[in-house]
Structure 1
Amino acid sequence: MGGQKAFDEINNISWNFFNARTLTWNKNTGDVRIDHRKENTVFLYNTETKTGRVLKNGVEYTQQDSLDKYLNQAYEQWVNDSYWLVMPFKLDDPGVTLTYVGKMKSESGANCDVLQMTFNEVGVTPQNKYLVYIDEKTSLVSQWDYFPSTSDAQPRFSTPWLDYKTYGNVKLSGDRGNNKITDIHVFKYLKTSVYTEFKRPSFIK
């Protein structure tokens, strides 16, 4: 996929998550912008400071209880949506345990090496478990199976990882079968206002 160094060198990345919302993320500063597609709602959030601003249905929320509620939503959406896009670059994150399961076939019939991924008190849902299928021919993730609990014997769903394209110096997949991650962009530089002002940037359709 280009390697961890190439991924670390990406400054900003933007993507449309399942046609529900567009996220723009500065990986260096922790700034995240979330534009919801079907309503006039924007979250401006920093993953490091846990602070930010919220514009919901055209109204900025300043009352602390409401602000905290929506900023927590912003955090959970960023954690979830970014994982669906860049999970292969996070396999070696602190708190992640990988166990080699063996050789299995994906639902498409490809021969794969399969890793079990569990979490030690990290993330929003540390009780989850995944099986990650690495295609023997391409060395790319081609499928993951999702288990709500580590004790589950059968996955709740299996999702393909298809349609890899090169962005900057890394490869990312946007095809998740019935759902699609689209409008993927990588930027070396974005204006600070992207993360501090509610006005939608021109690159967000």
Structure 2
Amino acid sequence: MKKLIILSIIGCFLISCNNRKKEKEVVTENPNLEVHEKIAMANGFKEFDSISQIKFTFNVKVNDTLRSERRWVWNVKSDKISLTEKDSTMSYTKKDSLEEDKEYIDQRFVNDSYWLLFPYQLKWSDAEISETKKSKAPISGDEMQMLTVSYPSEGGYTPGDSYDIYFDEDYMIQEWVYKASGGGREMATTWEDYEDFNGVMISKMHKSKDGSFELFFSDISVEE
């Protein structure tokens, strides 16, 4: 039995390594990709088309108190989305116009899935993306590559927001700074505890510098 468990662990590790190798090859074999595209590809963007369903739980903890716990089921092909929160389940299908009672779910799904798959938003969204430069990351103090992602001042749930993205040589995000529109609130968090889910790389943990804020994902399932 122990041998089977060990072989299973080794098998999962090899699959994960092979997926990471393929993602690096996609980036290195496409020198004409822009930097934001390389970040998306390094995180498995090419694999997303084969995904049928994603399940995940979005959690927010502040000073050891769990503030949010939202469980999501996203049928990628049909865009049917279900939210379970406080023992209540609600569902809707994304489309151009939403009924007023569905906006509550949609607003939270946009927020939660944005954290989950932000590297893909670099390909999906209409954000303005700056040139890359070297800069010290806000939490570690390490010098990294950095670019800024800015959203239009109109449209969406939080127009005018921007993000400073700090990433390593493998185009994996290590830290970011969220900046609210109008020069308001700022928040820096880590991007850590990456895991490969059928080729989709997900950072499961985001922490503030002092550790008082944690945003993390659990119960993640990515099905082909």
Give structure 1 stretches of 5+ with no counterpart. 52-67, 189-205
Contact 2:190 2:206 (8 Å CA) reproduced: yes
CA pair 10-100 structure 1, distance change in 2 beyond 3 A: same
CA pair 119-159 structure 1, distance change in 2 beyond 3 A: same
Q: Which residue, 61, 72, 92 being the options, matches 1:45?
A: 92
In the alignment of these two chains, the number of paired residues is: 167
How far apart are residue 109 of structure 1 and its match? Answer: 3.3
Contact 2:43 2:202 (8 Å CA) reproduced: no
Pair 1:164 & 2:194 matched: yes
Q: Which has the higher helix share?
A: 2
Q: How large is the Cα RMSD of the aligned pairs?
A: 2.0
In the TM superposition, structure 1's runs of 4+ consecutive aligned residues that sit over 3 Å from their partners are none
Equivalent-residue separation in structure 2 for 1:128 and 1:94 (angstroms)? 13
Alignment-mate amino acid for residue 53 of structure 2: N
Equivalent-residue separation in structure 1 for 2:190 and 2:151 (angstroms)? 22
How far apart are residue 123 of structure 1 and its match? Answer: 2.8
Equivalent-residue separation in structure 1 for 2:172 and 2:155 (angstroms)? 25
How far apart are residue 2 of structure 1 and its match? Answer: 4.4
| TM score, norm. by length of structure 2 | 0.68
| TM score, norm. by length of structure 1 | 0.74
Equivalent-residue separation in structure 1 for 2:191 and 2:206 (angstroms)? 5
Q: Which residue, 133, 150, 173 being the options, matches 2:203?
A: 173
Contact 1:17 1:181 (8 Å CA) reproduced: yes
Identity %: 27
* Equivalence map 1:5-84=2 (5 Å): 5-18=46-59, 20-36=69-85, 39-48=86-95, 68-84=99-115
Contact 1:111 1:135 (8 Å CA) reproduced: no
| SS across alignment from 1:29 | coil
Q: Which residue, 97, 100, 105 being the options, matches 2:131?
A: 100
Deviations 1:5-35 (A, max 9, x none): 2123212111110151111112221110111
| SS across alignment from 1:109 | coil
Equivalent-residue separation in structure 2 for 1:29 and 1:3 (angstroms)? 21
